[in-house]
Structure 1
Amino acid sequence: MAAESQNGSGAGFGKRGGYRSGIASVLLTSISSNASDRDPNDIEAEIGSAAASFRLRAKKSRVYTITYIATDKAVNQTVRTIAVTVPHDQSEPQFHTEE
């Protein structure tokens, strides 16, 4: 049997050796803000959980940095971080995706 790619699709051999057969967990590890005047209610999230949704205060020009860590069954880990920016001009909804 040939090992498949390391991109999380299908089964294969992980970089730490041993047989791996998919994702074991995906955890929200942090959410931070660039605001110096941060209110405790700006971020409502269950850090350390598998949360796929959370609440962020949409205050002008604020940038939130969100980090998840994914672990497969062979204990290989990948960390992914994304920045969410609240636009200064909130008159029109703006949606941006990055490839």
Structure 2
Amino acid sequence: MRWGTLLEDAIAKAYSQDTGLTVSEEPNVLYHPEYPFLGANIDRWVGDKEYILECKTAGFTKGKEWGEVGSDQIPESYLVQVAYYGAICDVPKVDIAKPL
């Protein structure tokens, strides 16, 4: 968790540079409007809160669970996390960025 927190800004900046999209921090825990016991602590918003960016440093602990670069294969625990965050925030997608 320490490395994730330390590297999150760098990963978000690289994502923004690579995609040309703007990202912004969300300092608050976000709660589902109908089920307020469900909360999400997202890493970044993309664009004008169009969707979510999750920054991962997975190479250190889950490196073998990722698919080839460009594939949509991600570690199962991250798939559950981003599906949960997407449902809470009612967004059409969640991007995941990690160092190569």
TM-score range, shorter chain: under 0.3
Q: TM-score, normalised by structure 2?
A: 0.25
Higher relative contact order (CA 8 A, sep 6+): 2
Q: Rg larger in 1 or in 2?
A: 1
More helix by share: 2
More strand by share: 1
